[in-house]
Amino acid sequence: PFDVLVVGGGPAGASAAIYAARKGIRTGIVAERFGGQVMDTLSIENFVSVKHTEGPKFAASLEEHVKEYDIELMNLQRAKRLEKKELFELELENGAVVKGKTVILSTGARWRNIGVPGEEEFKNKGVAYCPHCDGPLFAGKDVAVIGGGNSGVEAAIDLAGITNHVTVLEYNAELKADSVLQDRLKSLPNVTVLTNARTQEITGTDKVNGLSYIDLQTGEEKHVELSGVFVQIGLVPNTDWLGDFVERTAHGEIVIDQRGATNMPGVFAAGDCTNIPYKQIIISMGSGATASLSAFDHLIRSDIP
Ligand code: FAD
């Protein structure tokens, strides 16, 4: 069995595995797609100490670093069930069972898509999901934020400080964000809020040039000219496969403490699949290191054979 079995091969999982392997203990990673969300990222400018890089390049150096160590990488393998017997047993989609004395869950998350024409086509060409990551690319330009919940309104407030103008589109009759955020939003001169607005299409040629929506009160189709669209309708953690094996929040995020421990002794978690605030590469790597050091700490205190 592995001393530390990491499930998920994004920044959190890679970091957890490297920290574990550096203790000289048997370490394995099971990953559906090594690299994780970073593989879908065009440009990364906020990984501190690296001024600019690209997602696939970043993922390649993650893999290179992992391969420096004696880490068994089981890539293109999807985990489907975790059980506690004498050891932890992870069942893969292909039927194989991988055992671990401790487990680190780092299966990440995915942005919920709006699913309208143009979204897929213009991803990284004006369609964005992360204001902390991509906001500065739209400095001085006009953008839209789809979604009037907390993340949408936070994004709009953030973007209003960087861009020329922000249009917020909410499908319902009212924004759902906390009222303190709504008040803040309303105080900003360069923000327009459209409620009862159903996004129909993100338009463009080689990159985004606008957005069409239906005004649900009049049924009329309208178009706004824009350079960027931030889709903010939720980040979904990849944790459904865990069922109730570990405690999760109402949104499905794995609940961890300061040390990355879940409610199941010996099971730790890190990165975007957990309830840590702010989902970023640098943060998920830090939490991977924390979970790994905690798993090591657990191992040296327990009498697992
Ligand atoms: P993930 O990267 O989501 O990795 C999860 C891993 O788990 C993957 O290997 C996945 O295949 C695997 N997995 C999932 N389910 C299973 C399963 N059942 N069995 C086995 N493996 C499984 N952050 C920044 O800091 N800067 C940026 O510029 C930036 N830009 C972004 C742009 C885009 C388009 C996106 C989508 C995200 C961006 N982010 C950025 C966010 C950043 O990518 C994430 O915060 C980070 O990747 C989270 O790392 P993670 O390891 O927790 O999860």
The residue extents of the domains of the chain are 2-111+235-301, 127-231
How distant is the alpha carbon of residue 127 from its chain centre? 16
176 CA distance to ligand 1 middle (Å) = 26
Check the annotation: does 219 bind a ligand: no
CA of 196 to the centre of ligand 1 (A): 32
261 is in an annotated binding site: no
CA pair distance 44, 32, nearest whole angstrom: 22
Residue (of 165, 154, 174) closest to 211 by Cα position? 165
Q: Per residue in 280-297, pLDDT tens?
A: 999 999 999 999 999 999
State in Å: Cα 26 to ligand 1 middle: 24
What pLDDT is recorded for position 41?
87
CB 291 within 8 A of CB 272: no
Q: Please report the pLDDT score of residue 38 as a whole number.
A: 95
Asked whether the beta carbons of 199 and 233 are under 8 A apart, the reply is no
In which order are the strands placed within the sheet that holds 165-169?
Answer: 127-128, 228-231, 142-146, 165-169, 191-194
The answer to whether 96 is a known ligand-binding residue is: no
ipTM of the complex: 0.99
Q: Which CATH number, 2.60.34.10, 1.20.140.10, 3.40.640.10, 3.50.50.60, labels domain 2-111+235-301? A: 3.50.50.60
Residue of minimum CA distance from atom 3 in ligand 1: 108
Q: Which residues pair with 197 in a beta bridge?
A: 215
Tens of pLDDT, residue by residue over 106-159, are 999 999 999 999 999 999 999 999 999 999 999 999 999 999 999 999 999 999
What is 127-231's CATH number, 3.40.710.10, 3.40.1010.10, 3.50.50.60, 3.40.190.10? 3.50.50.60
The answer to whether the annotation marks 12 as part of a ligand binding site is: yes
Show contacts of 94-99: CB within 8 Å, 24+ apart.
98/2, 98/5, 98/28, 98/30, 98/74, 99/1, 99/2, 99/5
Note whether 105 and 8 are within 8 A (CB): yes
Q: How many CB atoms lie within 10 A of CB 117?
A: 12
The C-alpha angle with vertex 274 and arms to 270 and 280, in degrees rounded to 5, equals 70
Cα gap 165→159, rounded to integer Å: 8
* Residue 119 CA, ligand 1 centroid: distance in Å: 19
**Of ligand 1's atoms, which has the minimum distance to the CA of residue 13?**
51
Q: Which residues contact 8 (CB under 8 A, 6 or more apart)?
A: 29, 30, 31, 32, 36, 105, 106, 107, 108, 238, 271, 273
At residue 143, the pLDDT reads 98
Q: Which residues of 223-249 are buried (b: 16+ CB within 10 A; e: fewer)?
A: ebebbbbbbbbebbbbbeebeebbebe
- pLDDT score, position 17: 98
Please give the number of the atom of ligand 1 that sits closest to the Cα of 279.
45
Cα of 195 to ligand 1 centre, how many Å?
A: 31
> CA-to-CA distance for 211 and 199, rounded, in angstroms?
7
> What residue ranges of the chain have pLDDT lower than 50?
none
Q: Is 272 assigned to a binding site?
A: yes
- The annotation status of 144 as a binding-site residue, yes or no, is yes
pLDDT of amino acid 303 = 82
Ligand 1, CB within 6 Å, residue ranges: 7-13, 30-34, 36-38, 40-41, 44, 46, 78-79, 106-109, 111, 129-130, 133, 238, 241, 271-272, 279-282, 284
State residue 305's pLDDT score: 64
- Give yes or no for a contact between 6 and 104, defined as CB atoms under 8 angstroms apart: yes
Asked if the domains at 2-111+235-301 and 127-231 fall in one CATH topology, the answer is yes
